[in-house]
Amino acid sequence: MQRIGVFVCWCGSNIAGTVDVQAVSDALKNEPGVVFSTNYQYMCSQAGQDIIKQAIAEHKLTGIVVCSCSPRMHEATFRKTAAAAGLNPYMVEIANIREQCSWVHKDMATGTEKAIILGKAAVAKVNLNAPLTPGESPVTKRALVIGGGIAGIQTALDIAEAGFPVDIVEKKPTIGGKMAQLDKTFPTLDCAACILTPKMVDVAQNENIRIFSYSEIEEVGGFVGNFKVKIRKKARYVKEDICTGCGICTEKCPQKKVPNEFNMGMDNRRAVYIPFAQAVPKVATIDPNYCTMLKTGKCGICSKVCTAGAIDYTQKDEIIEENYGAIVAATGFNPISMDKFDEYAYNQSKDVITSLEFERLTNAAGPTAGKLLRPSDGKHPHTIVFVQCVGSRCAACAEKGKEYCSKICCMYTAKHAMLTRDKYPDTEVYVFYIDVRTPGKAFDEFYRRAVEEYGVHYIKGMVGKVFPEGDKLMVRASDLLANKQLNIQADLVVLAAAIEPDKSARSIATMLTASMDTNDFFTEAHPKLRPVESPTAGVFLSGTCQGPKDIPETVSQASAAAAKVIGLLAKDKLTGNPCVAQPNELMCNGCSSCERVCPYGAITYIDKEFRMPDRTTAIRRIATVNEAVCQGCGACTVACPSGAMDLKGFASAQIIAEVDAICK
């Protein structure tokens, strides 16, 4: 039999105003198991907590009921109080007589009556409580970063700097991501490569960082502190440890007609390639879709010219298994396809390009060596039209565009317009905008400079249609402020395509059991207060996989995610939730019903030897619960046909006792 103490809180007048607290403590005094009952003005205060501690000692209490505010408010407080007095913290139950009683009822009589019933239910439950000890699990002191763009790079560097080992998994042959493709960065106009490539080198040289490039996540198991991950290292047909990155193979390969994805397909690369000069790792990769040797078995030139002997046509995909304490998603973004927006004639004219293609056209390492030339005829364009919000803020139909604002386009378009006018003052530049959105440090000043100093024509209105006519592009647009329809004869049209999460994000989210929104951006645990954590413990978010953001914002978020990871990895052990499922071995018949409903894969089966009544032994298959994996939802307890599965802290008998107390 328990020895229960009841403590009724007044919460000043919050409770005492509508509930006769004395009557409640008197009524509960007579409940089975109750040996002490009192009330006090503020139970959560130091004095109130002392009353509880004193009563535990004086009356040798084994259980406690606090009738007070919501357990979401002070359950932890009173559990600590009990623990300080030597009582198991899970012997404390809260009757919520504030949020669910005094605050929603006006009448003293009804409030008091309900408070008594809620108290009785809590007493009935505590009578069946048992001391619980939370399990502990060790923390694997290694982090995984999925994605090697600027977000993944920054997160990995910060974690490594704190002394923890980090692995970066990048599906492309090199890290660097989208930032590596950019020319200059707003609002300071420093060159992207100049600030990114040193970081890429830091990553390569950091002893705590391993890079798995040309690799993908295959499988994720385990839980916070103890993730088990399988990584598929795709065959690149080049021995990474031997290749010196000299590039001779990439010059001699006879297959010259492979669209170069790094330059957005605006020029060609070979079948064996290094994406760009500053690639990390600087190792060649053979593209199996184009390599003649791999496809037909005839060629082998790259192997012949490689003095290091790094080419290996027999290489196979390799699966690497590694354990991690924390995982960071940094899967990034892509511009959306322009196929559904052919009123802008993207598929009808080579001279209609996206902004990312424009970046490559102005980049010194791009297909035109940094000279702004039209893709169709290589001529210098004299009139350029930029169109903003192509596919962003588009709510007409889901398969066409994105309802959200892509956030970065206003600024990079201002940058493109400004740089064009700076380098080629003979060029007329028009920007069609719906709104110019430039919140950010020195952002609006930047945009105004494009207008005021560089003479970019900003026109409030939208382009309706682009007609490719001869070697010109007739741009039909509106100028809303002048109430005019404009027809501009342009040489180049640049579309600010909306951005969307990388297509791989969804399958990665599924593997991580991390949730996503309808746009396939990862959701954060709390939109304001926990912006870099996913709701799944141990999974963190970095960069544009969580929502559109520019480089400064991405880097801040990347460092924030790293701080969270470091906080986790700094712990030696994680304390679990003791309210987990527990099977009764004698009742379990090994039917697997519980295993099938468990969302966490926490239930497995073992064969155990039992002594039978006739003194023989029998081996029976029974369920066991991994307490570190179980999150305590209770789905298995209902699925179990024999009633063998129960949930600690929310046992069937306890809940039935509460039901009985309420219905009495």
Partner 1 sequence: MNKETSKIRDEIIRSSGVNPKKCMRCGKCTATCPAFDEMEYHPHQFVYMVENGDIEPLMQSKSLYKCLTCFACVDRCPRGVEPAKLVESVRLAVIRKQGANHLTSDDIPALLDEDMPQQAIVSALRKYSK
Partner 2 sequence: MQINNEFKPKIVAFCCNWCSYAGADLAGNNRLAYPENVKIIKVPCSCRVNPIFILRAFQRGADGVIICGCHPGDCHYTSGNYYTRRRMALLFSMLNYLGIEKERIRLEWVSAAEGAKFAATMNDFTSAVAALGENKRLEDLRCKK
Partner 3 sequence: MKKVAYFPGCTLRTKAKDLDKYAKDSANALGFSLEEIENWQCCGGVFTTSKDEIATKLSSVRALAYAEKNNQILLTVCSACHNVIKQTDNAMRNDSEFASHVNNYLKDETYHGTARVMHYLEYLRDEVGFDNVAQKVVNSLKGVKIGAYYGCLLLRPNSVMQMDDPENPRIIEDLIKALGAEPVIYPYRNECCGGYVALEDAASAKKKSVSVLESAKQAGADIVVTACPLCKYNLEKNASDVKVVYFTELLAQALGVKGDENE
Binding span for partner 3 by CB under 8 A among 264-272, 293-301, 334-342, 553-561: 334-342
68 binds partner 2 (CB under 8 A): no
Nearer to partner 1 by C-beta: 134 or 468? 468
Nearer to partner 2 by C-beta: 155 or 534? 534
Q: What angle do CA 391, 394, 397 make, to 5 degrees?
A: 105
Instruction: Return the axis-axis angle of helices 150-161 and 551-569, rounded to nearest 10°.
Output: 40
103 binds partner 2 (CB under 8 A): yes
Q: How far is the CB of 352 from partner 3 (least distance, A)?
A: 12
SS3 197: helix
463-469 vs 226-233, strand pairing mode: unpaired
Distance (Å, whole) CA 588 – CA 466? 71
**Do 147 and 124 meet the contact criterion of CB atoms below 8 Å apart?**
no
The contact set with partner 1 (CB under 8 A) reads 343, 389, 393-397, 401, 434, 460-465, 476-478, 480, 483, 485
Sites for partner 3 among residues 144-203 (CB under 8 A): none
347 binds partner 3 (CB under 8 A): yes
520: region left, alpha or beta (phi > 0 left; psi from -120 to 50 alpha) = left
Structure tokens at 376: 């169709």
Specify the residue for token string 């060609």: 268
**Do 335 and 497 meet the contact criterion of CB atoms below 8 Å apart?**
yes
345 binds partner 3 (CB under 8 A): yes
Instruction: Report the residue from 468, 535, 590, 649 that binds partner 3 according to the rule CB under 8 A.
Output: 468
Binding span for partner 3 by CB under 8 A among 154-162, 339-347, 532-540, 577-585: 339-347
Q: How far is the CB of 413 from partner 1 (least distance, A)?
A: 15
DSSP state of 659: H
Binding span for partner 3 by CB under 8 A among 97-105, 415-423, 464-472, 615-623: 464-472
32 binds partner 2 (CB under 8 A): no
Structure tokens at 303: 């192997």
Q: Which does residue 535 bind out of partner 3, partner 2, partner 1, none, counting CB within 5 to 8 angstroms by kind?
A: partner 2
Distance (Å, whole) CA 472 – CA 660? 82
465 binds partner 2 (CB under 8 A): no
SS3 107: coil
* Residue (of 510, 513, 516) closest to 547 by Cα position: 516
Binding span for partner 3 by CB under 8 A among 64-72, 273-281, 300-308, 335-343: 335-343
Structure tokens at 164: 């923890």
23 binds partner 2 (CB under 8 A): no
Q: How far is the CB of 113 from partner 2 (least distance, A)?
A: 7
**Do 351 and 491 meet the contact criterion of CB atoms below 8 Å apart?**
yes
Nearer to partner 1 by C-beta: 396 or 529? 396
Q: Which does residue 468 bind out of partner 1, partner 2, partner 3, none, counting CB within 5 to 8 angstroms by kind?
A: partner 3
Distance (Å, whole) CA 468 – CA 213? 41
99 binds partner 2 (CB under 8 A): yes
Nearer to partner 1 by C-beta: 485 or 592? 485
428-433 vs 457-460, strand pairing mode: parallel
**Do 182 and 365 meet the contact criterion of CB atoms below 8 Å apart?**
no
* Residue (of 229, 208, 228) closest to 218 by Cα position: 229
Binding span for partner 3 by CB under 8 A among 159-167, 252-260, 343-351, 548-556: 343-351
490 binds partner 3 (CB under 8 A): no
659 binds partner 2 (CB under 8 A): yes
Q: How far is the CB of 389 from partner 3 (least distance, A)?
A: 17
Please state, as a whole number, how many other Cβ atoms lie within 10 Å of the Cβ of residue 303: 18
Nearer to partner 2 by C-beta: 198 or 599? 599
**Do 64 and 5 meet the contact criterion of CB atoms below 8 Å apart?**
yes
Q: How far is the CB of 631 from partner 2 (least distance, A)?
A: 6
Stretch 408-447: interaction string toward partner 3, x if CB under 8 A: ----------------------------------------
Q: Total residues contacting partner 3 (rule CB under 8 A)?
A: 13
Distance (Å, whole) CA 354 – CA 498? 10
433-442 per-residue burial string, b: 16 or more CB within 10 A, e: under 16: beebbbebee
Binding span for partner 2 by CB under 8 A among 297-305, 306-314, 421-429, 636-644: 636-644
Q: How far is the CB of 523 from partner 2 (least distance, A)?
A: 10
Sites for partner 2 among residues 567-586 (CB under 8 A): 579
Amino acid at 270: R
Distance (Å, whole) CA 39 – CA 179? 63
Nearer to partner 3 by C-beta: 422 or 469? 469
Nearer to partner 2 by C-beta: 504 or 652? 652
**Do 590 and 623 meet the contact criterion of CB atoms below 8 Å apart?**
yes
Q: How far is the CB of 347 from partner 1 (least distance, A)?
A: 16
Structure tokens at 249: 């193979």
SS3 409: helix
Bridge partner list, 190: 185
Residues that bind partner 3 (CB under 8 A): 339, 341-343, 345, 347-348, 397, 467-470, 474
Residues that bind partner 2 (CB under 8 A): 70-72, 96, 98-101, 103-106, 109-111, 113-114, 117-118, 121, 513, 535, 579, 597, 599, 631-635, 637-639, 647, 650, 652, 655-656, 658-660, 662-664
